[in-house]
Amino acid sequence: DLWSPDKLKNMTVNLQQAVENFVHGEEGKVSTVTQASLEKIVTTGKLYTAEYPYNGIAAVYDGDTLKYHVAYEGTVKAGIDASKILLHLDEEKHEIIIRLPAVVVEEPIVNAGTMDYIFEKNQYETETVAQEAYKAAIADLKNKVAADPNIVQTAAKTAKMYEKAFV
Alpha carbons 165 and 110: distance in angstroms, whole number: 33
pLDDT at residue number 103:
87
Q: How confident is the model at residue 23 (pLDDT cuts 50, 70, 90)?
A: very low
The pLDDT, as a whole number, for residue 104 is: 85
Q: Tell me: the pLDDT tens digits for 85-136?
A: 787 788 888 887 888 888 888 899 999 999 999 998 888 888 889 999 999 9
The 3-state secondary structure of the chain, one letter per residue: CCCCHHHHHHHHHHHHHHHHHHHHCCCCCCCCCCHHHHHHHHCCCEEEEEEEEEEEEEEEEECCEEEEEEEEEEEEEEEEEHHHCEEEEECCCCEEEEECCCCEECCCEEEEEEEEEEECCHHHCCCCHHHHHHHHHHHHHHHHHHCCCHHHHHHHHHHHHHHHHHC
Q: What is the pLDDT of residues 43-67, one digit of tens each?
A: 456 667 788 899 999 999 989 999 9
The pLDDT of residue 31 is 45
pLDDT band per the 50, 70, 90 thresholds, residue 8? very low
Contact 137, 115 (CB under 8 A): yes
Q: So what's the pLDDT on residue 42? A: 53
